Structure 1
Amino acid sequence: MRIVYLPLDERFCTREYFLMFTKIAGLDILTPPRELLGSKKVPADTDALENWLLENVKTGDSLIISLDTLIHGGLIPSRINLIRSETIRDRLKIFSILKDRKVEIYLSTTVTRIPIYNSADEEPDYWEYYGETLSDMSKEFARYLESNNIENLSYKDILPEFLSENEERYQHIPKWMIEDFFWRRERNYNIIREVIELVNEEIIDFLNLTLDDNSAGSLSVYEAQQHRNFVKKLGLEEKISVHPGADETSLTLLSRFLCSKFQYAPSFELFYVHPESINLIPPYEGYPLKESVENHIKAAGAQIKSNGEILLLLNNTIDYSKYEVIYQDEVKVNEEEYEKILMQILKENRIVGIADIRYGNGADKRLVEKLLKESLDWKRMNYAGWNTVSNTLGTVIIHSIIQYFGEKGYLKLDMEELLKLQAIFFIEHWGYQADIRQQLRKDCVTKGCNVWTLMPAEKWAEEYTCSKLLPYKNAVEKALRKNWEMKVFFPWHRSFEVGIILS
């Protein structure tokens, strides 16, 4: 069973996480060389990728493909490019050609995000000056659509009336910016509709439709609800999942692929550290935590049971007011919570996945420090705590499912690679994201860098980060009883993402 994999983009978390999981599971994997992919705002050569697929896909292959890469050249290009709808529709024809080769197609795509702040780092240039204003306007527009019960979205027909009614509030925004923003959203919205039709025509076997960084009441959530309604109308709920996320989406599809191949849906029992707050909506998510967790597990091809075969322990919070990882040293915590977590883990004889979702963009440092001090079996347990709730969920779910299928004899796991990947997650999510990244951002200013770029002193930043991460690496090695050499790099030449190589 061979997998042909086209990632969301070239980052370490979107490409290498997936490849490392397939290596652990001993899967036959084919993916384009990194040089065929893009570089942040520079899109991949979509014609070259299409040719690569046509030349390499064989009868019986299983395809895990990011639509954003195939038709736009990457996640960021999907937000900023000016490709016409006609060109995209032409690119969609490749799926019918590939389907004729008797392949399975697992596809992912995103509902385009709408950042609530001013920055053009990953958006069109005007977002640097009007991003927050356009975000506020889009939320107001979503409320307008909701109140008028408008289902068949056509921005070019609806928007003029909305702007006319709110002329004084938004007249300071250049008209061309508003037109550009909504043109791109309508284009992407309509393309998703056409992909849903491909699922209905049984050309696409499964679609993972994720909402890139979003928030409650946003236009992204409104659009996603219209897609959900359309999916329900066509009776495709078992073939299309709509939920928050983005960077982890290929991991969810890998889970789905394995469950389908082995014709078995592993069951998860959920253990929330704070069950009283599962209906709160985490930042970047747009939906209650409980709903997101359930949708991620279902999308992965698994199920939830009260006495499940895998324990999914969710280190959630009761308060999102200081959710970002940089505030965690200011947050008062109850040490009994951590004792409760450890007691739950120590008594288990199941695969245990620990989804550390208490903070955004990094690990709960207290939790990791306590986990590493215990003598735990990391061949039957796993941990992740990075970026958003959905990023972490998708990672822990695939990790748990691979461990489960390995234990049951469906897969022969490479335990050395398994421990290496777990070490990378600890070093990155705990050491880098929760701590060293903040130090790097402060000290890099003296080298001419800033929060958006390390280019003026990237070699220095790599050496600095590697040195600062050594104590974390040592703690992880002691807990996992292993030793590695470590290198670090910055995939997008900025401090937000890091790549960690252990050898």
Structure 2
Amino acid sequence: MPKILLLPLDERPCNYLFPNMLASSSEDIELLLPPKSLLGAMKQAADISAVAQWLRENFFSCDYAIISIDMLVYGGIVPSRLHQLTQQQCLDRLSVLTQLHAAYPHIRIFAFTLIMRAPAYNSSLEEPDYYAVYGERLCRFGALRDRQRRGLSSIEEKSEFLALENALPPEILHDFCNRRKTNHAVNLASVSLLNEGVLDFLVVPLDDCAPYGWAVAERGEILSAIRQNGLGRRAYSYCGADEVGCILLARAANHSRRTSPGIFLQYSSVCGPFVIPKYEDRPLGENLRWQIAAAGGRTVPSAEFADMVLMVNSPTVGGEQMSDAGHDGIFCNIAPACLPDFIHTLRAMLQYKPVLLADVALANGADTELMKALAQEDLLAKLTSYSGWNTAANAAGTCIAHGMICADNIEKGALFTTHRILEDWLYMSCIRRRAAAFAERQKITLSGSGEQDGLVTPYILRELKTMANQLSLPQCVSIQHIALPWHRLFEIELQISVV
């Protein structure tokens, strides 16, 4: 049984709890995680020296090591957007991997390092304080800069770029650009570690991006370094972030098993594989192929040659036109005529293949219309894997990893499938908005201190139990605990157990 060490991106459930649940669903994986107390909390960076010491004390005992470079260098995903570290300080922290490889050259290291995002809205919740005022303009400035660099700018865009350059305070632009420069240097250094043989495999995902912008421009330089060194088969760059730990866990499992699962992709809409989802920079179909390959699998041309089928509830519109779950939008996730056909195909595939369902038609939650139909047809309990949270890459990557790790043990994997149905559908798409209204009525203010979390979590728990009792789920479970890990309603920490 391989022992896999994982240094996660941060302490949130998607990065800490999900991989642990997947490993527990398999009989041939032993996962080693650091104590959650070492990993910081949102804007509070992890204790880097303690993290490095934990690696030194435990590295020798594993067969595979999955390393978040953002955790190792900056102390987590949000601290990577806030730090004031110099390039040399960052590179010194990264050198821990070189030391560990020198001491234990037989251990395979799969690493991932994010290209920092620049979201298109004004909020400092997960960004520097000035992002509350200048966030949208910084994002737009990066997009116009990228278009200008590619020679695509119109006269109007060139004028807008100059106006933004003059409007953004120099000290803010310097801080934002200098941090990006430092993080970019770390990403290029990670490519060098791969070239030197310290790393065996590297993923450089784009976190919350768009077809034009800061991240895409930096990715071009990273891809040049990858190609110049002939590393294209060992270094991938595609959209994603919070699912990559699970993807690399699947890769380690597949490598240990000496397998490469074949996956057939079946979309709900004709245009599905060609749509560029919200928060991403490329067509859905392209990103899915990268995720499958990163997990150690392969795409196959028909269900006949597949080990499993990935049913993709895909959007018909992308970008900012794509709706969010739980919100009444003017754009349909799938045309009504497609739904019966999609369910008919899904039912047919269930007859002879494990079926994974990536529910990515909407951002930040499940497609309630589809899920109600599956519940009425009693098909939820027959799915090998399901996921529908956050971005398309987050949801699909989690689904792919779960399917690969647990396809041979559907019963054990059913706990995680149930977990995802409860959270991604019932909470994110149905209860979350009602919980926000409840908090407003009760004058409950959620904040970083978490003092009032306990005033809203009982409401969520009660609603979730009521809705879950009306469904035929993949596994009969008891909902044990609900928490708000970042003291907000965007995500929950849900703990369940088999009854």
- Confirm or deny that 1:326 pairs with 2:329: no
Distance in 1 (CA, whole Å) between partners of 2:491 and 2:35 is 20
Tell me which of 471, 475, 485 is aligned to 2:466.
471
For the residue of structure 2 that corresponds to 1:250, the secondary structure is helix
Q: Partner residue of 1:386?
A: 389
Against the structure 1 CA distance between its residues 369 and 170, is the aligned structure 2 distance closer, same or farther, given a 3 Å change threshold?
Answer: same
Q: Partner residue of 2:110?
A: 106
The answer on whether the counterparts of 1:111 and 1:212 sit within 8 Å (CA) in structure 2 is yes
The answer on whether the counterparts of 2:317 and 2:331 sit within 8 Å (CA) in structure 1 is no
The answer on whether the counterparts of 1:243 and 1:295 sit within 8 Å (CA) in structure 2 is yes
Q: Partner residue of 2:307?
A: 309
Q: Partner residue of 1:45?
A: 47
- Confirm or deny that 1:484 pairs with 2:485: no
Residue 458 of structure 2 aligns with an amino acid whose one-letter code is: E
Q: CA deviation at 1:262?
A: 1.9
Residue 97 of structure 1 aligns with an amino acid whose one-letter code is: Q
The CA deviation string for residues 94-115 of structure 1, in whole angstroms up to 9 with x for no partner, is 1122113121101111000001
For the residue of structure 2 that corresponds to 1:81, the secondary structure is coil
Distance in 2 (CA, whole Å) between partners of 1:292 and 1:336 is 26
The answer on whether the counterparts of 1:449 and 1:456 sit within 8 Å (CA) in structure 2 is no
Distance in 2 (CA, whole Å) between partners of 1:235 and 1:493 is 44
Against the structure 1 CA distance between its residues 244 and 450, is the aligned structure 2 distance closer, same or farther, given a 3 Å change threshold?
Answer: farther
Count of aligned pairs between the two proteins: 482
The answer on whether the counterparts of 2:73 and 2:90 sit within 8 Å (CA) in structure 1 is yes
The CA deviation string for residues 463-490 of structure 1, in whole angstroms up to 9 with x for no partner, is 01111112332134x3335141432101
Q: CA deviation at 1:218?
A: 1.3
Distance in 1 (CA, whole Å) between partners of 2:99 and 2:87 is 20
User: 1:82-231 to 2 correspondence within 5 Å?
Assistant: 82-100=84-102, 101=104, 102-147=106-151, 168-231=163-226
Residue 415 of structure 1 aligns with an amino acid whose one-letter code is: E
Q: Partner residue of 1:159?
A: none
Distance in 1 (CA, whole Å) between partners of 2:447 and 2:325 is 18
For the residue of structure 2 that corresponds to 1:58, the secondary structure is helix
- % identical aligned pairs: 28
Distance in 1 (CA, whole Å) between partners of 2:220 and 2:266 is 28
> Which segments of 5 or more consecutive residues in structure 1 lack a partner in the other structure?
150-161, 407-412
Tell me which of 384, 406, 415 is aligned to 1:403.
406
Against the structure 1 CA distance between its residues 289 and 485, is the aligned structure 2 distance closer, same or farther, given a 3 Å change threshold?
Answer: closer
Distance in 2 (CA, whole Å) between partners of 1:66 and 1:447 is 40
The answer on whether the counterparts of 2:269 and 2:338 sit within 8 Å (CA) in structure 1 is no
Against the structure 1 CA distance between its residues 502 and 481, is the aligned structure 2 distance closer, same or farther, given a 3 Å change threshold?
Answer: closer
The answer on whether the counterparts of 1:9 and 1:74 sit within 8 Å (CA) in structure 2 is yes
Residue 324 of structure 1 aligns with an amino acid whose one-letter code is: D
For the residue of structure 2 that corresponds to 1:135, the secondary structure is helix
The answer on whether the counterparts of 1:363 and 1:434 sit within 8 Å (CA) in structure 2 is yes
Q: Partner residue of 1:493?
A: 487
Against the structure 1 CA distance between its residues 165 and 347, is the aligned structure 2 distance closer, same or farther, given a 3 Å change threshold?
Answer: closer
The answer on whether the counterparts of 1:322 and 1:328 sit within 8 Å (CA) in structure 2 is no
Against the structure 1 CA distance between its residues 195 and 483, is the aligned structure 2 distance closer, same or farther, given a 3 Å change threshold?
Answer: closer
- Confirm or deny that 1:34 pairs with 2:50: no
User: 1:421-500 to 2 correspondence within 5 Å?
Assistant: 421-449=416-444, 455-476=450-471, 478-480=472-474, 482-500=476-494
For the residue of structure 2 that corresponds to 1:502, the secondary structure is strand
Q: CA deviation at 1:273?
A: 0.9
The CA deviation string for residues 357-382 of structure 1, in whole angstroms up to 9 with x for no partner, is 10000000111122223344846622
> Which segments of 5 or more consecutive residues in structure 2 lack a partner in the other structure?
none
The answer on whether the counterparts of 1:5 and 1:63 sit within 8 Å (CA) in structure 2 is yes
Q: CA deviation at 1:452?
A: 6.5
Distance in 2 (CA, whole Å) between partners of 1:173 and 1:448 is 36
The answer on whether the counterparts of 1:23 and 1:414 sit within 8 Å (CA) in structure 2 is no
Q: Partner residue of 2:21?
A: 20
Q: Partner residue of 1:350?
A: 353
Distance in 1 (CA, whole Å) between partners of 2:198 and 2:158 is 40
Against the structure 1 CA distance between its residues 263 and 80, is the aligned structure 2 distance closer, same or farther, given a 3 Å change threshold?
Answer: same
The answer on whether the counterparts of 1:372 and 1:475 sit within 8 Å (CA) in structure 2 is no
Q: CA deviation at 1:251?
A: 0.8
Q: Partner residue of 2:282?
A: 287
Against the structure 1 CA distance between its residues 166 and 469, is the aligned structure 2 distance closer, same or farther, given a 3 Å change threshold?
Answer: closer
Against the structure 1 CA distance between its residues 327 and 166, is the aligned structure 2 distance closer, same or farther, given a 3 Å change threshold?
Answer: closer
Q: Partner residue of 2:339?
A: 338
- Confirm or deny that 1:415 pairs with 2:411: yes
Cα RMSD of the aligned pairs, angstroms, is: 2.3
Tell me which moved more, 58-67 or 125-134. Answer: 58-67
Q: CA deviation at 1:73?
A: 0.5
Distance in 1 (CA, whole Å) between partners of 2:475 and 2:288 is 32
Q: CA deviation at 1:415?
A: 2.8
